[in-house]
Structure 1
């Protein structure tokens, strides 16, 4: 049985909620990723910010990325997956919450991110196809 830690990309970093959207963009560039978990002062995941969020919610809205708080980009609910959760649970969580990336936690520690691309590389084609279809539904 495949588990999340076998699918994920390890070494994920957080942007802190008290940092700025500009800080998030720089960290994305430095680490070569398109999404980052947002962590609060308690180091707990508050949400995920994507490169699209930065474009639409900050730049497209005419806000200054050097001033706009990264914490204002959280979703209402932080969706995560446990490192030892099964691949089926990963697929179900992504589908249920309509997300393409999930922070992976072990206890209360961030250990990685699992993205649709990770799923596509790891799981059989029918599973991947079902996930993409679910995420593409209206």
Structure 2
């Protein structure tokens, strides 16, 4: 069984809940990613911040990204996957929650990120099609 630990991208960086959305955007640009986990001062995961969140909820709402805190955009509890969960559980979680990226947690520690592409590479073709279809519908 292929696990999240085996297919995840390591070295995931967080944006602090008290840090600005502008800094988050700069960090996304520097890292070449479209999402960052939001971590609180207690180092616990507070949510995810996507480039779309920045465009729609900050720029589109005419807010100043230098003044808006990343934590203001965290919505509810973050959807995560355990490091030793299998590809089928990742597929189920992504499909159920309609998310394209999952932070990988080992205990309470963020150790990586699994993206839709990581899962696509780990699953047989028919399941990949099912995942893409599920995430592409409203």
Which secondary structure does the structure 1 equivalent of 2:19 belong to? coil
Q: Tell me, which stretches of 5 or more residues in structure 2 are unaligned? A: none
TM-aligned CA deviation for residue 121 of structure 1: 2.1
Distance, in Å, in 2 between the alignment partners of 1:6 and 1:57 is 34
Distance, in Å, in 1 between the alignment partners of 2:93 and 2:117 is 15
Question: What pairs with 1:81-120 in structure 2 (closer than 5 Å)?
Answer: 81-120=81-120
The worse-fitting range, judged by mean Cα deviation, of 109-118 and 120-129 is: 120-129
Deviation track 1:63-85 (CA, whole Å, cap 9, x = no partner) reads 10000010011122211101101
Q: Tell me, which stretches of 5 or more residues in structure 1 are unaligned? A: none
* Cα contact 2:87–2:122 (8 A) shared by 1: no
TM-aligned CA deviation for residue 137 of structure 1: 2.3
Match of residue 5 from structure 2 = 5
Count of residues paired in the alignment: 138
Match of residue 39 from structure 2 = 39
TM-aligned CA deviation for residue 127 of structure 1: 1.3
Distance, in Å, in 2 between the alignment partners of 1:43 and 1:85 is 22
Q: Which runs of 4+ in 1 moved over 4 A?
A: none
Deviation track 1:65-108 (CA, whole Å, cap 9, x = no partner) reads 00001001112221110110111110111111111101001111
